[in-house]
């Protein structure tokens, strides 16, 4: 695997883990009313697909769809930054 692929894979895993930890922290620490709003804001725009849910289904969809969204965003950012860093002027 190329270095850019390894970096993107690692960034995706880190993005997924950070999203999971943040979502679970919000779920356990915030009260019933505020946590759903915070989780929906964390996962915009993919949260439009499941913002009508409440309780455990909201948490499940956030972990799955939101985690995938953040993993893809982290991988794409790592890939693009890696390409920009390698590019030589001229």
- What's the pLDDT score for residue 90? 61
pLDDT along the chain (90 residues), means of 10: 88 98 94 88 96 94 97 96 78
Task: Give residue 82's pLDDT.
Answer: 87
- State the pLDDT at residue 77: 96
- Specify the pTM: 0.88
Which pLDDT value is given to residue 46? 97
Between CA 22 and CA 63 the distance in angstroms is 10
74 contacts: CB under 8 Å, gap ≥ 6: 11, 12, 14, 15, 16
């Amino acid at each position: 695997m190329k270095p850019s692929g390894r970096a993107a894979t690692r960034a995706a895993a880190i993005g997924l883990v950070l999203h999971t930890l943040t979502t679970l922290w919000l779920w356990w620490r915030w009260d019933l009313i505020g946590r759903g709003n915070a989780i929906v804001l964390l996962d915009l725009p993919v949260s439009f697909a499941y913002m009508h849910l409440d309780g455990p289904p909201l948490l499940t969809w956030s972990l799955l769809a939101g985690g995938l969204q953040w993993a893809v965003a982290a991988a794409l950012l790592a890939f693009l930054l890696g390409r920009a860093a390698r590019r030589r002027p001229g």
